[in-house]
């Protein structure tokens, strides 16, 4: 039996793909199709794919041409697969001529002529064209501008700011419309990314939704639960996407870590301790410590331990009447505990530790932009290290999730509504200084 293997991403499956699969199958008796899991296309420097891995696998399955479908997950896997499945022929389209010659050492390599006139990129470019506007005063907007370049079909058209000085020259030069008038920006875009001061979010989001624009807003979305309810209701009524932005939620290592916990790798979780600190005189300084770090530090706690804690206790040191410099929040759950330590003007080891009945997960500082973590056990021989490429601190995947939500008219966010609500509630509790211990 002659076994053939071919690989591809098969995004928005088109007849170029099916023709290739048919010819690949005709080269032998048994066809294995490897569907690529990685949606970052290094050669093009873009996140190219519009469909999820499962949708792409399903589309290939539906052609009925493949005898077996596998997922391509890591670089160098092709050699492993060829050996493992005892492959006779490796084949891909002629756009890859020469690129896979190194596989000749393991099996025969055949390049099949590519079908002219159709490609996933072409279809995608036609389908997605999102004009995004940036709103706010923070230097962080430079990162969003940079990361948007890595996402197919998102174009940053306008910037609304009162402080152009914070923006890099290339960003200022690269954006057509720079204004301090939000309504002018809204007239020229389909969606906005908001990173204004948190106490202005509510007003800015409402204005954007009333203008019929989708919203991606940096967390905390609002500083009260009632305001959040109102905004979410409004977005539903207007059939617009309103998504909370916390980049760490979209970092590959972090999302894998959550899956490993769900799969029971450390057993029953008893505690989560997360620390985030920085000393950034004059940075995006007007953000309070609690606003700057709170949502990120709270994320693993609310996602792993849940949002139904029994009680919590806030202890804070203020550097002036309104701004905290160091805050600790302790949580007690029915079956566990958690703590958040955040500091702006104080420094601590910014790690994340999740303890369980079988072992614990250690994510070294700065855990919120990590590409690496360890699962540690009583017997160190069993310890495991995990490494995942961190592209753009998670921002580009966050933008992709936002663009996908708009295309589908439905938010499938990595951050559940419960978590968004709880973050706003904790911010409100902080605003009210409710039960707070001053240190």
Binding residues for ligand CTP (CB under 6 A): 8-10, 16-17, 20, 48, 92-93, 95, 114-115, 118-121
Pick the closer one to ligand CTP by CB: 8 or 136: 8
Pick the closer one to ligand CTP by CB: 119 or 142: 119
Closest contact distance (angstroms) between CB of 404 and ligand CTP is 16
Pick the closer one to ligand CTP by CB: 46 or 341: 46
* CB-based closest residue to ligand CTP: 93
Show the tokens assigned to 361: 């997960």
402, 246 Cβ separation under 8 angstroms:
no
Pick the closer one to ligand CTP by CB: 95 or 236: 95
Closest contact distance (angstroms) between CB of 129 and ligand CTP is 16
Closest contact distance (angstroms) between CB of 391 and ligand CTP is 17
The secondary structure of the chain, three-state, reads CCEEEEEECCCCCCHHHHHHHHHHHHCCCEEEEEEECCCEECCCCEECCCCCHHHHHHHHHHHCCCCEEEEECCCCHHHHHHHHCCCCEEEEEHHHCCCCHHHHHCCEEEEECCCCCCCHHHHHHHHCCEEEEEEECCCHHHHHHHHHCCECCEEEEEEECCCHHHCCHHHHHHCCEEECCHHHHHCCCCEEEEECCHHHHHHHHHHHHHCCCEEEEECCCCCCHHHHHHHHHHHHHCCCCEEEECHHHHCHHHHHHHHHHHCCCCCCEEEEEEEEEECCCCCCCCCCHHHHHHHHHHHHHHHHCCCCCCEEEEEEEECCCCCEEEEEEEEEECCEEEEEEEEECCCCCCCEEEEECCEEEEECCCHHHCCEEEEEECCHHHCEEEECCCCHHHHHHHHHHHHHHHHHCCCCCCCCHHHHHHHHHHHHHHHCCCCCEEC
Pick the closer one to ligand CTP by CB: 78 or 204: 78
Chain-centre distance for alpha carbon 286: 25
Show the tokens assigned to 418: 């419960």
Closest contact distance (angstroms) between CB of 216 and ligand CTP is 25
Closest contact distance (angstroms) between CB of 331 and ligand CTP is 45
Pick the closer one to ligand CTP by CB: 48 or 288: 48
Pick the closer one to ligand CTP by CB: 43 or 165: 43
Pick the closer one to ligand CTP by CB: 115 or 312: 115
Pick the closer one to ligand CTP by CB: 125 or 176: 125
Closest contact distance (angstroms) between CB of 104 and ligand CTP is 17
Pick the closer one to ligand CTP by CB: 123 or 260: 123
Phi-psi label, residue 345: left if phi above 0, alpha if psi -120 to 50, beta otherwise: left
Closest contact distance (angstroms) between CB of 98 and ligand CTP is 13
Closest contact distance (angstroms) between CB of 369 and ligand CTP is 28
Dihedrals φ, ψ of 116, to 5°? Answer: -75, 150
Pairing state between β 177-179 and 154-160: parallel
In the chain, what is the greatest distance between 2 CA atoms, to the nearest angstrom?
77
Pick the closer one to ligand CTP by CB: 115 or 330: 115
Closest contact distance (angstroms) between CB of 20 and ligand CTP is 4
Closest contact distance (angstroms) between CB of 150 and ligand CTP is 14
Closest contact distance (angstroms) between CB of 394 and ligand CTP is 23
């Amino acid at each position: 039996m002659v076994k053939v293997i071919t690989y591809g991403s098969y995004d928005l499956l088109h007849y170029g793909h099916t023709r290739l699969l048919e010819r690949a199958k005709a080269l032998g008796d048994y066809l294995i199709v490897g569907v690529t899991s990685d949606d970052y296309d290094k050669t093009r420097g873009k996140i190219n794919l519009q469909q999820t891995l499962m949708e792409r696998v399903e589309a290939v399955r539906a052609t009925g041409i493949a005898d077996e479908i596998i997922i391509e997950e890591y670089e160098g896997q092709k050699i492993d697969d060829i050996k493992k499945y005892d492959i006779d022929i490796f084949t891909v389209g002629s756009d890859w001529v020469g690129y896979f010659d190194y596989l000749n050492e393991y099996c025969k390599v055949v390049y099949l002529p590519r079908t002219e006139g159709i490609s996933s990129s072409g279809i995608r470019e036609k389908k997605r064209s999102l004009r995004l506007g940036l709103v706010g005063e923070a230097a962080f907007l430079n990162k969003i501008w940079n990361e948007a370049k890595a996402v197919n079909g998102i174009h940053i058209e306008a910037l609304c700011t009162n402080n152009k000085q914070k923006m890099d020259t290339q960003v200022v030069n690269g954006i057509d419309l720079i204004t301090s008038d939000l309504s002018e920006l809204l007239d020229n875009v389909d969606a906005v990314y908001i990173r204004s001061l948190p106490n202005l979010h509510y007003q800015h989001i409402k204005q954007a939704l009333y203008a019929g624009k989708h919203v991606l807003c940096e967390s905390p979305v609002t500083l009260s639960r009632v305001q959040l309810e109102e905004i979410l209701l409004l977005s539903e009524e207007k059939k617009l996407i309103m998504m909370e932005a916390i980049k760490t939620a979209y970092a590959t290592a972090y999302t894998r870590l959550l899956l490993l916990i769900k799969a029971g790798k450390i057993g029953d979780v008893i505690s989560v301790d997360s620390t985030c600190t920085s000393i950034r005189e004059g940075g995006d300084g007007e953000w309070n410590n609690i606003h700057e770090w709170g949502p990120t530090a709270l994320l693993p706690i609310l996602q792993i331990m849940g949002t139904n804690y029994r009680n919590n206790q806030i202890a804070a040191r203020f550097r002036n009447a309104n701004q905290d410099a160091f805050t600790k929040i302790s949580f007690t759950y029915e079956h566990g505990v958690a703590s958040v330590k955040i500091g702006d003007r104080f420094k601590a080891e910014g790690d994340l530790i999740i303890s369980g009945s079988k072992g614990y997960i250690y994510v070294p500082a700065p855990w919120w932009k990590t590409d690496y973590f360890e699962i540690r056990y009583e017997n160190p021989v069993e310890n495991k290290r995990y490494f995942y490429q961190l592209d753009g601190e998670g921002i580009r995947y966050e933008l992709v999730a936002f663009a996908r939500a708009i295309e589908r008219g439905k938010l499938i966010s990595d951050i559940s509504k419960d978590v968004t609500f709880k973050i706003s509630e904790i911010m409100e509790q902080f605003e009210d200084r409710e039960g707070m211990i001053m240190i």
